[in-house]
Copies of this chain bind each other. A is one copy, B any other.
Amino acid sequence: MSVGRPPATMTEIAAALGVSSATVSNALSGKGRVSVELSAKIRQAAAERGYVPSHAARALRTGRTGVIGLVLPDISNPLFPQIAQAIEQAASAAGYGVLIADSRGEIAQQTAAIGRLIERGVDGLIVVPRRGSRVGDIGTPVAIIDSPSTPGNTVSSDHWEGGVQMGRHFAALGHRKVLLIAQSRESNVQNDRIGGLKAGLGQDIGCETLWVGDLEAAHGAGCALGLAARVADGFTGFAAVYDLLALRALTELQRGGIDVPRQASVSGFDDLVWSSVVMPPITTLRQDLATIAERAVEALSDAIADSDTSTGERMDARPGLEPVPMTLVARQSTGRATMPATRMVVADAFDTRKDGR
């Protein structure tokens, strides 16, 4: 990064070389029909002078900013940062900048966030919708990251299939009664996971779903879930739809004097950093966020390209995108249940370095 004279413009390079700025533009963009020699000369001059294209000018001229917007429901959610990181990575590789917006709080915030981003001139949006919300036609190309059951240009993990894997894991461990623990009935992701879990457990295993949201509506946030009583009722498996719920379940069980995994197995979803550090480490499903991000960016690029050509074609009409598989990470929390454990992989040595600065 040379300080000193400011980076040259095309016009300046053109003047210095005694050619037209159109030729400079063509040479630099590569599209041009410019002789090889001249092109080389121009490139060199540009490099020497530290030419940096003006995104503003280009945007004004072409109507494209080269920036996409990322709308997250609550950036501080432990999983979203990883999504943001993966998106930034993928977008960067595709030549896009990423403008962020936070839609937490009221549902209206999501609309507001989208509006802000559009006003800033983003070429398209990637949105992780708030629970229970739909992203309507916003007149701008968009890709959604949610659940395969969400309509529109949606890319996501195969939450259902993940649930199936986990259900089978519990079945293989020999559990007969499993409690499924979810937060909100409105969440597509949670519903998918619950559905998959049931399918994976199969007909023969008794299961019931505990909606923590309902409980909390009645007894307040952080209320007891009555899990120890469930153990007394014969439940030995506790499959939560995300890790923090799993941790809450684990803690409540332990406090109630239940030994995990000897008397009960506990599992989560998403493999957050701490999930492998608690005692016992939590069995969970890992999302392939890098792939999801790549697909989302790709889907969005396509949508942006299309929005140029065909006017007004419904994005929703696109063929559904293939859901991305999740990976089961078996850890000690489902390690050796009362029943003979059939599979157990102790994964992930402690690694707490991530938190460091």
Please list the residues of chain A having a beta carbon within 8 angstroms of any beta carbon in chain B. Answer: 1, 3, 52-57, 59-60, 65-67, 70, 73-82, 84-85, 88-89, 92, 97-102, 104, 111, 115-121, 128, 131, 137-139, 183-184, 187, 189-190, 212-213, 216, 220-223, 242-245, 247-248, 251, 254-255, 272-274, 277-279, 348-357
Contacts and interface: CB of A to CB of B under 8 A. Distances in A.
Give the 4 A-B residue pairs with the shortest CB-CB distance, closest first.
Answer: A222-B350, A222-B349, A56-B59, A75-B85
B85 A131 contact: no
A62 B356 CA distance: 40
A277 B244 contact: yes
Nearest to A224: B350
A139 B3 contact: yes
Contact of A251 (B81, B189, B278): B278
Nearest to A66: B120
Nearest to A7: B119
Given A85-B75, A278-B278, A190 B121 contact: no
A88 B100 contact: yes
A223 B245 CA distance: 28
A213 B56 CA distance: 45
Contacts of A104: 85
Contacts of A115: 1
B353 A278 contact: no
Contacts of A128: 357
Contacts of A66: 120
A29 to B, nearest CB: 16
A2 to B, nearest CB: 9
Given A100-B84, A100-B98, A222-B349, A74 B354 contact: yes
Contacts of A350: 221-223, 248
Given A56-B60, A84-B84, A222-B348, 13 more contacts: A1-B138, A3-B139, A56-B57, A59-B59, A60-B60, A74-B354, A76-B81, A97-B117, A98-B100, A190-B356, A221-B351, A255-B279, A274-B274
A82 B72 CA distance: 12
Contacts of A247: 274, 277-278, 352
Contacts of A212: 352
A269 to B, nearest CB: 10
A268 to B, nearest CB: 9
A116 B259 CA distance: 52
Q: Which of A98, A131, A274 has the most CB of B within 10 A?
A: A274
Q: Which of A115, A116, A272 has the most CB of B within 10 A?
A: A272
B67 A121 contact: no
B65 A76 contact: no
A187 B121 contact: no
Given A3-B137, A54-B121, A85 B76 contact: yes
A102 B89 contact: yes
10 contacts: A56-B57, A73-B357, A75-B84, A76-B82, A89-B102, A187-B356, A213-B356, A244-B274, A244-B352, A274-B274
A136 to B, nearest CB: 9
Contacts of A274: 78, 244, 247, 272, 274
A254 B279 contact: yes
A52 B140 CA distance: 15
A225 to B, nearest CB: 9
